[in-house]
Amino acid sequence: MDRLLGAMTVASLLLIVLVLASVRREHIRVEYSISWLAAGLALLVLSLWKSLDQRIAIALKIPDLAVTLLTICGVVFLGVLFAFSLRLSQLKDSSIKLAQRVAILEFHVESLAAQRAINNTPARADAASAQGRLRASTDVPLKPGQSVR
Amino acid sequence: MVLIPAYNEEGAVASVVEEVRAVVADATILVVDDCSDDHTIQEARRTGASVLPLPHHLGLGGCVQAGYRLAFDLDFDYVIRVDGDGQHDPRDIPALLTALQQENCEMVIGSRFLNAANPRKALLQGGWCRALGIALFRSILRPILGRPVSDPTSGFVGVNRKALEVFSRAFPLEYPEIEALVVLQRRRFRFMEVPCHIRERRAGKSSITAIKAFYFPVHVLLGVFVNVLLFPGSRIWRILRK
């Protein structure tokens, strides 16, 4: 049991050092390091405070202390992973919306620029047309109420 | 508007645009490029199509939704989606458009199995694995939609402005065809199928790899399940609304 607690102490210290080093190198942003640091600290406390582990084991009615510790570790890491899954999903949604918005705005800007070129100088319009950029504005009308036909 | 989602389709996209233009000469053709690694954008522009280039790869659903959003912003009444690999025959576009305009439904699906001389043979044409998947989704969707759907995986679809509004806000991001039907059903929108022809892809390769062939049904089933839970009237829907 003491060897398991020792290994857990080393593992939690390694986790804390790894996370801090990653934050220092800006591989992980501070706000995303907090969950991992909290998990590492919780495991460190459990590994150093044997009487607390015994109390938890009694409360959970798990006779084996090692199984209790592994269960707690599992729950802590599942919690962290779930939190990150939520965050990843939010970020993916935002990234998709942003990419679509950027593409649509870019499309509108190019269309307006081409329209402006047509209105201002015929020579510039010809040049733009030669690059194939004017097609967008002429093909997709900017006026409302247009249908497929 | 005719919407052509394309990812690495430099070998096919130009001929697809030209074929579409030959059929519906005055339609706006929009190619949505899903950040291709090849010359898809240049090929599409060469034919004179409008191009919406996405800044990074979003997958089919994100790509199609970007096109729907632009079409909605530009006040289009109808959008017909044609795949950029040349599998859909643009000569079927008028049938889809006529159905959308005359049948008072929100979405029309081009079905390769409807009116097929030999439905079983048509189903097995894409391989037994694909046939099994289509049969599975047909049987799952029937009670959800309250009617049979012969080709639930068809990407050859037309939508009207009501559906466009919904899809421009919420559209499934991966393998969207089946989930899109359930999204429409949630809003009590109507759909119908019209027969269409499917051809061999002209160039490029399918995005469904061996691993994805297993992932695909799991992902779609989960998406359908989640959408069913959100049907108006379901207990979970009421809890979420509170």
pLDDT of residue B49: 92
pLDDT of residue A128: 45
Higher pLDDT, A137 or B16: B16
Confidence of residue B156 (pLDDT cuts 50, 70, 90): very high
Distances (CA, A) of B54 to A120, B33, B136: 29, 6, 33
Q: Alpha-carbon distance B146 to B173, whole Å?
A: 24
Measured in degrees and rounded to the nearest 5, phi and psi for residue A83 equal -60, -40
Distances (CA, A) of A29 to A13, A21, B98: 20, 11, 54
Would you tell me the crossing angle of helices A2-24 and A65-120 to the nearest 10 degrees? 20
Closest to B176 (Cα-Cα) out of B9, B33, B50, B58: B58
| Mean residue pLDDT across chain B | 86
pLDDT of residue A148: 45
Distances (CA, A) of B37 to B43, B59, B209: 13, 14, 18
Give per-residue pLDDT as tens, A114-134. 888 888 865 544 544 444 333
**What is the percent of chain B where pLDDT is above 70?**
90
A103/B66 CB distance under 8 A:
yes
Residues of A in contact with B50 (CB under 8 A): 107, 135-136, 139-140
Give per-residue pLDDT as tens, A94-121. 999 999 999 999 999 988 988 888 888 6
pLDDT of residue B144: 87
B28/A140 CB distance under 8 A:
yes
Any B CB within 8 A of A112 CB: no
Stretch B128-142: mean pLDDT: 86
Nearest CA in chain B to A103: B54
Give per-residue pLDDT as tens, B94-117. 999 999 999 889 999 999 888 777
Higher pLDDT, A125 or A50: A50
A103/B54 CB distance under 8 A:
yes
